[in-house]
Amino acid sequence: MDPTSVIGTKNKKGQVFTDPRIMMREAPRTPSFYTGSEVIKEAIRRASIDVMIAYPITPQSEAAALIGELFAEGYIGDYFRGESEFAVMSQCAGAAFGGARVFTTTAGPGTMRAMENFPMWAGARLPIQCIVTCRGINSPLSIQPDTIEISYLMQTGMLVWHAETAQDFYDWILMGYMVSEEPEVHLPLALCCDGFFVTHTKDVVDLTPTDMCLPPYDPYRSPVPCMDMECPPVRMMRDPFIMKSNYISYATHASWQQEVWAAAERSRKHTIAWLNGLIETEDVDADVLIVTSGTAVSQGREAIRLLADEGIRVGLVKIKTLRPWPEEELKEATKHATHIIVPEFNVIGWMAKEIKATIPRSERVIAGPRVCGGMTMPPEIIVEEIKRALGVRSGTLAGRG
Amino acid sequence: MSLDYVKFTPGFEQFMPKEYRDMVEHGPFGKKTTVSQMGSFKEILEEHPMCAGCAMTLFIRLAIIAFPNPEDTITVGTAGCGRLAISQAAIPFVYGNYGDQNGVASGLSRGLRLRFGDKPKDVVVIAGDGGTADIGFQQVLHSWFRKERFTTIMLDNEVYGNTGGQESGMTTRGAVLKMAPLGKKFEKMDMVTMAKVAGCSYIATVVPNNPRRVESVIKKAVLIARDIGPTYIQAYTSCNIEYAIPTDKVMEDAKTVEDDRYKFTEYVSDEAKAYLAERYGYKEFMPKAVPASVTTA
């Protein structure tokens, strides 16, 4: 089926299958005051999802349950609760193998429990979308915001995007399917946000019309045959190469892994077109830049405002996609900067490490401030980090400076 | 439509390998083939890397011949000896992750039903005893409790054969194997009872030395799973390597084990009986005619 052939027709809920470019860019938007979880529901209402599989784990449980309501209303083809995140991701894989558009959500320890599936999804070229509402994965148990799980996802072969706001989330859920279902891409997408900060806070989000939805997924645009016995040739998974210890076996696996990462690279042009670039910049001619992703960007904006009041000019680079990684964009955006501040919500500073490995003169990168375990990141600690870097005396925080 | 998948692309007939041409011209797709015709048609699984004398391989060959619609069947498996053969069959085989075959099959079955409605697309899980009863246990049981409509076949060789002979939950008590240096400490898991408790509509235990019986149970299991509910077949498929069974004694062993502790059993739910009778004309499940004397009494 050619998905464009259904444009203008209606689904069983009366929604019109709409050209995604018109739906996302030209259709009127309605400002709505929603939590992040409700925004996920509203995006999925318009995403022509065939199968959603749910499992409770804070802070994504509400979104996963709200999509159950959509199923009850008839917007989703099939929906059920799996028995663990590992099972859910396997069930998602099965549905995608069968040619369905699949959606799921997870968080923190759920992401880690499901982890075996993610490289398998990428290797099998299944364009599943998984929302990751990041939280702590450490012991002692924490349910609070922490982005450390993203560092694991970045090595799986999946596309990994990191939303700052609920508006990002809404738009990127819908655009994400358009990118990941491109025949030359056809990869799963981990669409991440900082749990609670985005999922449980209310924000004004401009929604597309309720009566418009994405065209359905066409599994025959997949670069590998869908497992429905309708589409030659026979497709096998992993075997028989696994049992061969010879050069052909190694070369087959090696070339396929390279192809998966090449597919992620090929997603760049589609992502740039949909997201208006892999990064977003403000005042990058300033000596000092804040470069980060997620809600750390929002805190960075506040820090920039505070510093502007004191006459210190700071620019901003918001990284939207982590895979593909915006290497050239970052080199260009940071070329004038003398100090590159990387605030992060995790203990290891994976973002700073990635940036250091990307840009020339990496000593310019200041890997911090970092908070973790659910701590908030007051803009003042970013301000203090910048002042310390510049050698400006700071007396803003009690006990420091 | 599905049969197109095994046809030649016009103009390419003469260039296709003989194996492929044999499959198109003499394979079982779109035909009614039975185990009694083995040797007279090209089997979906012929060449494989399994050990000499492997009973599991014979069982898999028989099972695949028994599939009611091989042209519309997708198999799902996991790590283990069985998948080394199944993955070389001329029908698609999905390998997801270790032990997640019943999860993958749940999603696959649902996805195909959404897309193809009532048109049969048979999903058959074929996995080993470790894959089914140990690492895959949670997903197996939950797929049954959810009443997922596909067939689960356990290739029970009572050992982790592929990794070199470690104890599994299906190993009999006392057996000395790797990771059980003092002998297995607990009983063989009773997966048949668990299948019944979890609500499977059809359950059978079988050994491979009765091909017609294997064919019969597989066919029933796949047909019932189309509409009624989950079905489970547990097959004794000895590992002649790890249990040191001489290759020429493998069938004898199967017979001995069948007589001793692996007797043929078959459970068919009332709903499944009625379905097989009405939908597929199974005479054995048709309502018995009540004697006239009883009805008029």
Q: Kindly tell me if the per-residue pLDDT of B238 is higher than 60.
A: yes
Domains in chain B, number: 1
What's the average model confidence in pLDDT over B283-296? 76
The CA distance from B105 to the nearest CA of chain A, in Å, is 6
Tell me the residue range of the domain where B168 lies.
Answer: 47-296
Residue with tokens 């012991």: A139
Domains in chain A, number: 2
As a whole number, the mean pLDDT across chain B is 93
Q: How confident is the model at residue B295 (pLDDT cuts 50, 70, 90)?
A: low
**Partner residue opposite A229 with nearest CB, options B88, B121, B146:** B121
pLDDT the model gives residue A238: 43
Is B107 close to A94, i.e. CB distance below 8 A? yes
* B chain contacts of residue A51, beta-carbon cutoff 8 Å: 107, 110-111, 114
* B chain contacts of residue A77, beta-carbon cutoff 8 Å: 114
Q: How confident is the model at residue A400 (pLDDT cuts 50, 70, 90)?
A: very low
Condensed to tens digits (0 to 9), the pLDDT of residues B48-86 reads 889 999 999 999 999 999 999 998 999 999 999 999 899
In a domain, A260, yes or no: no
Chain B residue with CA closest to A115: the answer is B97
Q: Kindly tell me if the per-residue pLDDT of B297 is higher than 70.
A: no
pLDDT the model gives residue A325: 98
As a whole number, the mean pLDDT across chain A is 93
DSSP state of B99: T
Q: Kindly tell me if the per-residue pLDDT of B89 is higher than 90.
A: no
Question: Is B96 an 8 Å CB contact of chain A?
Answer: yes
CATH number of the domain that B188 lies in? 3.40.50.970
Task: Tell me which amino acid residue B270 is.
Answer: D
- Domain limit, last residue, from A183, A200, A221: A221
In chain B, the percentage of residues whose pLDDT exceeds 90 is 79
Question: Which stretch of A369-373, B24-28, B108-112, B120-124 has the lowest confidence by average pLDDT?
Answer: B24-28
Please tell me whether residue B233 adopts helix, strand or coil conformation.
Answer: strand
CATH number of the domain that A143 lies in? 3.40.50.970
What's the average model confidence in pLDDT over A141-165? 96
Chain A residue with CA closest to B119: the answer is A228
Task: Show which of residues 217-256 on chain A sit within 8 Å of chain B, judged by CB atoms.
Answer: 219, 227-240, 243
What's the average model confidence in pLDDT over A4-26? 95
Please choose, from the candidates A370, A312, A310, the residue with its C-alpha nearest in 3D space to the C-alpha of residue A341: A370
Question: Is B198 an 8 Å CB contact of chain A?
Answer: no
Q: Both A188 and A284 in a single domain?
A: no
- For A281, the enclosing helix (H) or strand (E) is strand A279-282
Q: How confident is the model at residue B46 (pLDDT cuts 50, 70, 90)?
A: confident
Q: Kindly tell me if the per-residue pLDDT of B285 is higher than 70.
A: yes
Q: Kindly tell me if the per-residue pLDDT of B246 is higher than 80.
A: yes
* A chain contacts of residue B100, beta-carbon cutoff 8 Å: 86-87, 90, 93, 117
Task: Give the span between the Cα atoms of A192 and A150, in whole angstroms.
Answer: 8
- Domain limit, last residue, from A197, A221, A245: A221
Query: Cβ distance A101 to A51 under 8 Å?
Result: yes
Query: Cβ distance B59 to B156 under 8 Å?
Result: no
* B chain contacts of residue A80, beta-carbon cutoff 8 Å: 146
Tell me the residue range of the domain where A198 lies.
Answer: 3-221
**Partner residue opposite A237 with nearest CB, options B95, B114, B116:** B95
Task: Give the span between the Cα atoms of B218 and B207, in whole angstroms.
Answer: 12
In a domain, B20, yes or no: no
pLDDT the model gives residue A306: 98
Chain A residue with CA closest to B114: the answer is A77
Mutant choice from B108, B116, B123 vs A, greatest count of A C-beta within 10 A: B108
What's the average model confidence in pLDDT over B145-174? 97
* B chain contacts of residue A99, beta-carbon cutoff 8 Å: 111-112, 115
* B chain contacts of residue A243, beta-carbon cutoff 8 Å: 49, 84
In a domain, A242, yes or no: no
- Domain limit, last residue, from A155, A189, A221: A221
Q: Both A212 and A328 in a single domain?
A: no
- For A330, the enclosing helix (H) or strand (E) is helix A327-333
Task: Show which of residues 110-169 on chain A sit within 8 Å of chain B, judged by CB atoms.
Answer: 116-117, 120
pLDDT the model gives residue B118: 84
* B chain contacts of residue A50, beta-carbon cutoff 8 Å: 111, 114-115
In a domain, A376, yes or no: yes
Helix axes A166-180, A247-275, angle to 10 degrees: 130
Q: Kindly tell me if the per-residue pLDDT of A397 is higher than 70.
A: no
Question: Is B192 an 8 Å CB contact of chain A?
Answer: no
**Partner residue opposite A227 with nearest CB, options B92, B114, B146:** B92
Structure tokens that stand for B184 in this block: 């297995």
Is B103 close to A235, i.e. CB distance below 8 A? no
In a domain, B168, yes or no: yes
Q: Both A288 and A203 in a single domain?
A: no
Question: Which stretch of A65-79, A148-162, A351-365, B12-26 has the lowest confidence by average pLDDT?
Answer: B12-26
**Partner residue opposite B105 with nearest CB, options A82, A94, A231:** A94
pLDDT the model gives residue A136: 93
CATH number of the domain that A317 lies in? 3.40.50.920
Q: Kindly tell me if the per-residue pLDDT of A245 is higher than 80.
A: no
pLDDT the model gives residue B292: 64
* B chain contacts of residue A78, beta-carbon cutoff 8 Å: 110-111, 114
Q: Kindly tell me if the per-residue pLDDT of A232 is higher than 70.
A: no
Q: Both A201 and A336 in a single domain?
A: no
Q: How confident is the model at residue A90 (pLDDT cuts 50, 70, 90)?
A: very high
Condensed to tens digits (0 to 9), the pLDDT of residues A307-343 reads 999 999 999 999 999 999 999 999 999 999 999 999 9
pLDDT the model gives residue B2: 61
Better-predicted residue by pLDDT, B15 or A37:
A37
Residue B126 pairs with which residues in a beta bridge? B153
The CA distance from B215 to the nearest CA of chain A, in Å, is 22
pLDDT the model gives residue A2: 61
In a domain, B197, yes or no: yes
In a domain, A398, yes or no: no
Q: Kindly tell me if the per-residue pLDDT of A395 is higher than 80.
A: no
In a domain, A212, yes or no: yes
Better-predicted residue by pLDDT, A391 or B294:
A391
Q: How many CB atoms lie within 10 A of CB B152?
A: 30
* A chain contacts of residue B121, beta-carbon cutoff 8 Å: 98, 228-229
Sign of the four-CA dihedral A257, A259, A263, A265:
positive
In a domain, A31, yes or no: yes
